[in-house]
Amino acid sequence: SCAGPGAFQQATNSSLVPACRQLYEAESMWAFTRAFHLSCLRFPIGVGSFFAVNEVARPSDPKSYTQRAAAGGLAGATAWTLVMPLDVLQSRLMGQPVAPGRRYHGAVDCARTLLREHGPRVFVTGYS
């Protein structure tokens, strides 16, 4: 799994409320927005690249369904290729254990650690 050990590993038989309470007590309210900035960065890159590639690759004939489908597929593949590294970082940050067992201290630290330990291929984990 790309996310690594879960944040609620110690509370495997707990319900949502005790797990949220444990997370809040360990890391305050910021634990619930741990990787939100990566989502905010990922969205415009993904959507922007999708529409840009689709606009360029889309055929001029609106009845060419095969070419329109191919343009959409190319646009989707391009968008996911560009946002996959951010998705990996987001998954790793969100899936790490609560403090004091935290492994990464932010997105940059996470990226550096992953690159050092696993090489650049880690950023396309799950891309097929």
pLDDT in tens, 80-94: 999 999 999 999 988
Could you tell me the CA-to-CA distances from 95 to 9, 27, 61 in Å, in that order? 10, 14, 46
Quickly count: other Cβ atoms within 10 Å of residue 112's Cβ: 12
Cα–Cα dist 5/124, whole Å: 19
pLDDT of residue 71: 94
Tokens standing for residue 124:
């396309």
Q: What is the DSSP letter of 120?
A: G
H or E element, residue 18: helix 16-27
pLDDT of residue 90: 92
Of 63-67, 97-101, 105-109, the poorest mean pLDDT is in: 97-101
Tokens standing for residue 128:
């097929």
